């Protein structure tokens, strides 16, 4: 079934800047605080944010089975729970309303005044209440690079890596939206040639360029999701920065995986771009050899051609793009990840978030972390201002962008921009 809202010929009566990530073919979902300090669910076309709660109250969603308060909430969880059929009806209706040939809202300045906000008068919020957050490790290039450094190049990939999408559970409580600064963590590290750890600020704070998908309620506990059905339960995707403290990670991660090295912060872009909007940009995943077990096999194209880039902007400086990668390099598809995640009956809820793992490409300028780009500090990255970086410094802002582009249509994720603050100093209250 073609998705009406994806029609590439559709024009909108909202002014859309050239190269905007948000043409009328995108229609992402997010949560924002309006100029009147009200939290609402919305979408975006060009540089206009659209209050879906207000649109619904004005009757523009009549005929679609929605509860009255579905958009008057501070998270998208309930709307996501409504399921794929409802997401499509709503997205198609929005597309119709903002179609240049549709006069209803276009010609009602009273309604437009209530419904439309310019992006600079709203504040984007975390779009979902995240129940559980899982991070995969599905880029073969990244796993090989890190395995080479943390262990040795000969056994860089663990024996299980080519047979299953390796993953671990992360911390939901510290996932923040774009714009919220994060702090350099304190922690234990093991100095070189020492047997005793020391305590202090992490010296090796890094970004990880990832994307993440957000699910709807998918199964009962104990019941796997067959791989053929997995994509029905994926609402959409965001950019994801899995902040990492490499020195803490190296000392703590065995045998149970990363913990404090990761759980101090993760950042996500605030607009969830639906899997439907990404449909025209499907592409093949890398060839898998050996062939995976049957429960992980799925014919067709299940990756997406999403171009990714990361800038570092020093305090009072200008941005330097330090890497360009692509989501399509990911070895294990989202369908495979979700089939694997649930094959043991693990329950998936609305608002769960699953990270891709660092999306490193095949060439050194497409690696997805400073650890790899500057190869453990041995190949510093030169910034525009002449400074070098091997890891992220206090005051640096890391900005991630992602977009698909084909046949004159560009669907993007906007920016995920996060500043690194220095370590926390407790107030001298004692």
Segment lying near its own copies (by CB under 8 A), choices 101-109, 114-122, 193-201, 329-337: 193-201
Structure tokens at 17: 């800047």
Confirm or reject binding of residue 110 to its own copies (CB under 8 A).
no
56 tagged catalytic: no
Q: CA-CA-CA-CA torsion for 33, 38, 44, 50, nearest 10 degrees?
A: -160
Contacts of 300 (CB under 8 A, 6+ apart): none
Q: Contact with its own copies (CB under 8 A): which of 210, 247, 252, 372? A: 252
Confirm or reject binding of residue 307 to its own copies (CB under 8 A).
no
Three-state DSSP state, 426: coil
Instruction: Provide the phi-psi class of 106: left if phi over 0, else alpha when psi is between -120 and 50, else beta.
Output: alpha
**Residue of 56, 107, 142, 163 with catalytic role:** 142
Confirm or reject binding of residue 191 to its own copies (CB under 8 A).
no
Q: Contact with its own copies (CB under 8 A): which of 50, 167, 209, 404? A: 167
Question: For the window 253-292, what string marks contact with its own copies as x by the rule CB under 8 A?
Answer: xxxxxxxx--xxx------------------------x--
Show the beta-strand stretches assigned E in 229-315.
234-241, 244-245, 266-268, 273-274, 282-283, 303-304, 307-313
Cβ atoms of residues 356 and 212 within 8 Å? yes
Chain positions 363 to 422 lying near its own copies, rule: CB under 8 A, are 421
**Is the Cβ of residue 87 or residue 137 nearer to its own copies in the bound state?**
137
Report which of 97, 71, 73 is spatially closest to residue 86, judged by C-alpha positions: 71
Q: Contact with its own copies (CB under 8 A): which of 199, 287, 378, 386? A: 199
**Is the Cβ of residue 258 or residue 402 nearer to its own copies in the bound state?**
258
**Is the Cβ of residue 95 or residue 337 nearer to its own copies in the bound state?**
337
Contacts of 140 (CB under 8 A, 6+ apart): 157, 161, 286, 331
Contacts of 87 (CB under 8 A, 6+ apart): 79, 80, 235, 274, 276
Least distance to its own copies, CB of residue 344, Å? 3
Least distance to its own copies, CB of residue 253, Å? 7
- CB burial of residue 47 (10 Å; 0-12, 13-18, 19+): middle
Confirm or reject binding of residue 349 to its own copies (CB under 8 A).
yes
Cβ atoms of residues 234 and 274 within 8 Å? no
Chain positions 203 to 242 lying near its own copies, rule: CB under 8 A, are 221-224, 226
Least distance to its own copies, CB of residue 123, Å? 17
Confirm or reject binding of residue 338 to its own copies (CB under 8 A).
no
Confirm or reject binding of residue 148 to its own copies (CB under 8 A).
no
Q: Contact with its own copies (CB under 8 A): which of 2, 63, 294, 386? A: 294
Distance CA 18, CA 308 (A): 19
Confirm or reject binding of residue 426 to its own copies (CB under 8 A).
yes
**Is the Cβ of residue 109 or residue 426 nearer to its own copies in the bound state?**
426
Q: Which helix (H) or strand (E) holds 326?
A: strand 320-326
Active site residues: 142
């Amino acid at each position: 079934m073609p998705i009406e809202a994806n029609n590439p010929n559709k024009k909108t009566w909202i002014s859309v800047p050239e190269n905007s990530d948000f043409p009328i073919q995108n229609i992402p979902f997010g949560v924002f605080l309006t100029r009147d300090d009200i939290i609402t669910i919305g979408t975006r076309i060009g540089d206009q944010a659209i209050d879906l709660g207000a649109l619904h109250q004005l009757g523009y969603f009549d005929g679609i089975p929605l509860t009255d308060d579905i958009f008057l909430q501070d998270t998208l969880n309930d709307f996501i729970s409504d399921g794929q059929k409802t997401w499509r009806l709503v997205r198609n209706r929005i597309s119709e309303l903002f179609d240049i040939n549709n006069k209803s809202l276009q010609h009602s300045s009273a309604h437009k005044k209530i419904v439309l906000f310019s992006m600079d008068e709203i504040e984007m919020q975390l779009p979902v209440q995240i129940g559980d957050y899982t991070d995969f490790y599905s880029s073969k290039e990244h796993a090989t690079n890190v395995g080479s450094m943390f262990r040795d190049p000969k056994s860089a990939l663990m024996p299980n890596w080519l047979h299953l999408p390796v993953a671990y559970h992360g911390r939901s409580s510290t996932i923040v939206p774009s714009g919220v600064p994060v702090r350099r963590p304190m922690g234990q590290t093991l100095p070189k040639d020492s047997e005793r750890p020391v305590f202090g600020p992490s010296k090796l704070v890094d970004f990880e360029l990832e994307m993440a998908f957000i699910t709807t309620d998918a199964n009962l506990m104990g019941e796997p999701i067959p791989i053929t059905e997995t994509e029905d339960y994926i609402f959409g995707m965001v950019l994801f920065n899995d902040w990492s403290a490499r020195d803490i990670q190296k000392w703590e991660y065995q045998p149970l995986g990363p913990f404090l090295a990761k759980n101090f912060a993760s950042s996500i872009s605030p607009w969830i771009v639906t899997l439907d909007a990404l449909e025209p940009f499907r592409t093949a995943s890398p060839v898998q050899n050996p062939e995976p077990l049957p429960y992980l096999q799925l014919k067709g194209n299940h990756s997406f051609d999403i171009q990714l880039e990361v800038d570092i902007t020093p305090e009072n400086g200008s941005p330097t793009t330090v890497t360009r990668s692509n989501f399509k390099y990911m070895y294990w598809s989202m369908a495979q990840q979700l089939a694997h995640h649930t094959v043991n009956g693990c329950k998936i809820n609305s608002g769960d978030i699953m990270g891709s793992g660092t999306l490193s490409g095949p060439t050194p300028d497409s690696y997805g972390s400073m650890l790899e780009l500057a190869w453990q500090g041995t190949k510093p990255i030169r910034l525009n201002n002449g400074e070098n970086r091997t890891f992220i410094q206090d005051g640096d802002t890391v900005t991630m962008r992602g977009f698909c582009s084909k046949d004159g249509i560009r669907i993007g994720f906007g920016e995920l921009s996060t500043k690194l603050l220095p370590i926390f100093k407790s107030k001298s209250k004692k």
